[in-house]
Amino acid sequence: MNRNIETFIGCECEYSEATTVVFGAPFDGTTSFRPGTRFASKVMRSESYGLESYSPYQDVDLYDLSIYDGGDLDIPFGNTTKALDMIEEYTAKVLNDGKTPLMIGGEHLVTLGAFKSIFNKYPDVHVIHFDAHTDLRDDYLGEKLSHASVIRRVWDLVGDNRIFQFGIRSGERDEFYWAKDHMYTNKFNLDNLDKVVEKIKDKPVYITIDLDVLDPSIFPGTGTPEAGGITFKELMNGILEFRKLNNIVGIDINELSPQYDTSGTSTAVACKVLREMLIVANK
């Protein structure tokens, strides 16, 4: 009689034997419009059993791999700095133990916590960023630490020409103009992803997927749905493109707010993206 263990489907490995560590960062403290991403990882874990562990896209089964599910971090409420510190620390532990972290947000700001540890270990890291929004404000209502400025904070670390944005279709005029001088921004879709992948395929690469890059027709369960996004098949093709990267050092998937999509489709989509990215990370 063992106590009740809950994991994402196919992520039942012990920590010591795992090559990849998936964990949740249930933080939505700076969300400006509609909160709720704090529920994402828990709901995904539960709903993942509606999904098969086998991917017909990559012909791999999650049970072929060695993945540990660390559960959710115990993040406090109302203290953004402490939340990011906890994420940074957990990621550092995973990296130090030689494993690849795959974090489930939470709002997009959680990326900053994980990325600090990534950058520490891989100063040469490049970033692929899928999103509907630029996330490049220098601050938001005076706050430097905000979901709306997270990629700007990442840029503070890596500097120019190391960030590659795709699917962007919302932001302030200033953000779009500023981006032109500092990073590669592909508006509206994933065009040229193949060229970017070809160019950085031997670099350490961190991938951050804000799921609102998807069109809200297939992913309405997010705080700020932005019409005009990519289809699931386009995202799937992007994921398959990632298989050409030789050194993926970390991944995050964020901005699912499951309660806004009562059909459960958005959660099922997030689970499928997670399955495929876990396979990509173990390619």
Kindly identify the residues of this chain, within the stretch 45-74, that bind its own copies according to CB under 8 A.
45-46, 49-52, 54, 56, 59, 61, 68-72, 74
Kindly state the DSSP code that residue 118 receives in the 8-state scheme: H
182 binds its own copies (CB under 8 A): no
Kindly state the DSSP code that residue 142 receives in the 8-state scheme: T
For residue 252, say whether it is annotated as part of any ligand binding site.
Answer: no
* DSSP one-letter string for 111-154: HHHHHHHHHHH-TT-EEEEE-SB----S-BTTBSSSTTSHHHHH
C-alpha triplet 241, 147, 79: angle, nearest 5°: 130
For residue 74, say whether it is annotated as part of any ligand binding site.
Answer: no
Compute the distance between CA of residue 265 and CA of residue 220 in angstroms, rounded to an integer.
8
Tell me, what amino acid is at 42? K
Provide, rounded to whole angstroms, the least separation between the CB of residue 236 and its own copies: 6
Kindly identify the residues of this chain, within the stretch 189-208, that bind its own copies according to CB under 8 A.
none
Compute the distance between CA of residue 82 and CA of residue 85 in angstroms, rounded to an integer.
5
Q: Measured from the CB atom, is 34 or 182 closer to its own copies?
A: 34
- Residues 9-28 vs its own copies: string with x where CB under 8 A? ---x-xx------------x
Tell me if 87 sits within 8 A of 25, measured CB to CB. Answer: yes
In this chain, which of 80, 91, 100, 117 binds its own copies, going by CB under 8 A?
80
Kindly identify the residues of this chain, within the stretch 142-181, that bind its own copies according to CB under 8 A.
142-143, 145-146, 168-173, 176
Residues flagged as binding site for Mn(2+): 108, 131, 133, 135, 210, 212
